[in-house]
Amino acid sequence: MSSEVGQRSAFEAAIKAAPDDASGYAVLGDWLSQRGDPRGELIALQQQPALDRRQREREKALLMEPSIRCLAGPLAQWRWGFVHTAILVRPASPGRTSGAGLGALLAHPSMRFVRALTLGQEPLAESLEALAASAPRVLASLSLYSPRPLELGQLPRGLPALEHLHLSTPEVSGVLGALPGLTALTVSFLEWGPSTGKALLDHNRAQLSRIKVVAAGVFDARSLDAVLALPALEHLTLEASELNVEVIDAIAGSAAASRLTTLDLARSGLSERGARRMLELAPGLPRLSNLVMGEAADP
């Protein structure tokens, strides 16, 4: 390994260790500028608190430099010389399969420190294969949207920084594997039942503290057993067409009741009777500081 390659690797390792610390990018930017790399200037510009018109024009020009330009599209947001978030809902490049296009995109130097990624390309399985192959080391948030059922075993494991996973799909199968850094899970539009909770939560239950479930049907107490048994649960959001009073009793009587700090039932289909019951039981939740119920449905 050459001295220059080793230096760059060391600077990038420092960024990977603290991907939200601007100073690591600044050090890399200075080093790149000394070598005439336009990304160094881009890093310096994007670390400015505000840009004047001339600087904005220069930023646009730098984003078109061959070594910097990538096809992340208009829904990408840049930060400190690299793509910070990207929303990919169509094939990344005309004439290529979504998996091949995504693989090429994730391999681009500008995507090296992407922190949040949304995928809605079909077939999603190919996109997940490309994501697993690239294994972005600092990816903290991953959102997956598909009109088709999702096989949980297809999700990549090599995402050590992943903290938040959002799944929006009509159905899941299989089991979600262990993701050691995962603390927040959002699940949308599933028919939520006891087996769904078990499949999604079992291998990550020790560290999951924030759960949001948007279900297509009705919540009952038994369907939330796996959620309420999470030992680290602090934030719970439930959205459904109906939530019965037995669910309120189950929440208040669960082990999670002593840990919950936020309970959001604003769009849960909570009845007036359920809302009254929640207000009656709320004093028994000692850490609850944020209770959101919205307008109750008909009793």
Domain extent listing, the chain: 1-69
Lowest mean pLDDT among 125-129, 199-203, 275-279: 125-129
Architecture of domain 1-69: Alpha Horseshoe (1.25)
Whether the per-residue pLDDT at 298 is higher than 70: the answer is: no
Question: Chain-wide mean pLDDT for the chain?
Answer: 89
pLDDT tens readout for residues 57-89: 999 999 999 999 987 676 899 999 999 999 987
In terms of DSSP bridges, do strands 116-119 and 184-190 run parallel, antiparallel, or are they unpaired?
unpaired
Looking at the chain, the whole-number percentage of residues with pLDDT higher than 90 is: 65
pLDDT over 90 (residue 294): no
- Mean pLDDT value of segment 115-133: 88
Residue type at 239 in one-letter notation = E
Q: Is the pLDDT of residue 267 over 60?
A: yes
- 91: pLDDT strictly greater than 60: no
| Predicted local distance difference test score (pLDDT) of residue 230 | 95
Record the tokens describing residue 81, joined without a space: 């010389």
